Structure 1
Amino acid sequence: MTASSFRSVDEWIFDLDNTLYPAHTNLFAQIDVKITNYVQRLIGLSHDDARTLQKGYYQRYGTTLRGLMLEHDIKPDAFLEFVHDIDHSALLPDPRLGDAIARLPGRKFIMTNGTRKHAESVAAKLGITDHFSDIFGIVEADLLPKPHRETYDLFLTRNGIHPGRAAMFEDLARNLEVPGALGMRTVLIVPDGTREVFREAWELENSSAAHIEHVTDDLTQFLEDLMPQFA
């Protein structure tokens, strides 16, 4: 799949955490720690047991929150407020990223399993807020996270997006399975310096990773490399 496959794209969908900002900022690590603390206090577990339960729910349900809602009947508001109350100071304005997003033809969106408030804070710190037509968070998804098909359907319907004209950028391969099946262009964002490692891994497993068309460890450079076909 070559970069020219983006020529028909005019709907650009970006995940938030570890996608619009690099994983090495460790911003999401703050959220991860707070989720563990929440589970530990809620259920009365040791730190290690809470961590194990948290990751088990994440793998099984898509988010720890959904696992807690289904298994422990918690209300989501307090959880979401607690875990997204983090220090965003590690993020700095990224005018180069903003310029690359602005130059893409058509509309741009953020689709995240986090909250809209968290996404707005991140976008504001990066200086890219004005480039997006909509931010679709976990509340807007009726608390059903990616990779559930119903969540993508809701997002696409809400924004009038034809998947055949869309591209999705994600740091989690499983969240690209549905977009790939729907006909979107798919781009996996990996940590800095690991692109070749990830590319080798998924290319060796063609059947399970056929939905991943492109892999990059530099979102901004990837977007800039697309620009000549839109000139």
Structure 2
Amino acid sequence: MTQPRAFSHVDTWVFDLDNTLYPHHVNLWQQVDARIGEFVCNWLNVGPQEARSIQKDYYRRFGTTMRGMMTLHGVRADDYLAYVHKIDHSPLEPNPALGAAIARLSGRKLILTNGSVDHVDAVLARLGLVTHFDGVFDIIAAEFEPKPAAQTYQKFLDLHAVDPTRSAMFEDLARNLTVPHQLGMTTVLVVPDGTKDVVREDWELEGRDAAHVDHVTDDLAGFLRKLPHPK
């Protein structure tokens, strides 16, 4: 059995945003999910049940519902993003423990998300993590091609001059770690801690035992604290 990749060589730390930098059970994404359903409902003039089916079909096929709506129905990304990210961020609370754990990591810290910079800014402000990251690569920088598309990771690596063989990627969806692992990244899957109900599709919670997942944690701050101190 192949040993999971380690962290001693890592100088770039890459984090997803939603359900990764804050706990799944906050269910912030549930608000976005509901707004997406409303958008699909209104744009396609269909009922909520049909809209839900279309939304989830596009999410699985295209990586984001937005990409499906753009590709098949001519939706403008700006309109979509402005609508679906108009949510209440107040369920998020400051997380100084996570901030301290991220601060002690040696090297750059970057965010790679299928969300927008505006959404990132709002989430980081609520978590008290604004000063802890050196850059954000969002869906607009990706030219609206979401993870897990291989070209999106390559654009991210090129734009931020990241060596994937010296990087670690933290994600809540196992499928979004396939390409990073192929590129040489150390991969970490962040999962619910099991103490509270979460609103997720079954497939979103799969992949803990996948070969492309080096590590699994239900406590990101605790996991980061246990990594060796930089010399």
TM norm structure 1: 0.92
How far 1:202 moved relative to its partner?
4.0
How far 1:115 moved relative to its partner?
0.3
**1:210 alignment partner in structure 2:** 211
How far 1:131 moved relative to its partner?
1.1
Please give the per-residue CA displacement for 1:160-215, whole angstroms capped at 9, x wherever unaligned: 10000000000000000000000000000011138xxx999743xxxxx2100111
Q: Secondary structure at the match of 1:108?
A: strand
Q: How does 1:52-63 map to 2 (within 5 A)?
A: 52-63=53-64
Equivalents in 1 of 2:114, 2:169: separation in Å? 14
Sort the Cα spacing of 1:124 and 1:199 in 2 relative to 1 into closer, same or farther, 3 A.
Answer: closer
1:47 aligns with 2:48: yes
Q: How does 1:92-107 map to 2 (within 5 A)?
A: 92-107=93-108
Sort the Cα spacing of 1:200 and 1:137 in 2 relative to 1 into closer, same or farther, 3 A.
Answer: closer
> What value does the CA root-mean-square deviation take over the aligned residues?
1.7
Q: How does 1:124-135 map to 2 (within 5 A)?
A: 124-135=125-136
Name the count of aligned residue pairs.
Answer: 221
Sort the Cα spacing of 1:11 and 1:131 in 2 relative to 1 into closer, same or farther, 3 A.
Answer: same
How far 1:136 moved relative to its partner?
0.9
Q: Secondary structure at the match of 1:110?
A: strand
Q: How does 1:17-28 map to 2 (within 5 A)?
A: 17-28=18-29
Decide whether the 8 Å contact of 2:99 with 2:128 is kept in 1. Answer: yes
Q: Secondary structure at the match of 2:39?
A: helix
Gaps of 5+ in 2: 196-203
Equivalents in 1 of 2:127, 2:134: separation in Å? 16
Q: How does 1:136-175 map to 2 (within 5 A)?
A: 136-175=137-176
Equivalents in 2 of 1:151, 1:159: separation in Å? 12
Sort the Cα spacing of 1:201 and 1:36 in 2 relative to 1 into closer, same or farther, 3 A.
Answer: closer
Compare the two structures and name the one with the higher helix fraction. 1
Which stretches of structure 1, 4 residues or more, deviate above 6 A after TM superposition? 198-201
Look up the equivalent residue of 2:31 and give its one-letter code. Answer: Q
Look up the equivalent residue of 2:221 and give its one-letter code. Answer: T
Q: Secondary structure at the match of 2:226?
A: helix
Equivalents in 2 of 1:92, 1:123: separation in Å? 10
Sort the Cα spacing of 1:200 and 1:15 in 2 relative to 1 into closer, same or farther, 3 A.
Answer: closer
Equivalents in 2 of 1:30, 1:221: separation in Å? 27
**1:193 alignment partner in structure 2:** 194
Decide whether the 8 Å contact of 1:199 with 1:215 is kept in 2. Answer: no
Equivalents in 2 of 1:112, 1:45: separation in Å? 29
**1:206 alignment partner in structure 2:** none
Sort the Cα spacing of 1:86 and 1:200 in 2 relative to 1 into closer, same or farther, 3 A.
Answer: closer
Equivalents in 2 of 1:39, 1:200: separation in Å? 26
Look up the equivalent residue of 1:230 and give its one-letter code. Answer: P
1:30 aligns with 2:31: yes
Equivalents in 2 of 1:120, 1:201: separation in Å? 29
Percentage of matched positions with identical amino acids: 52
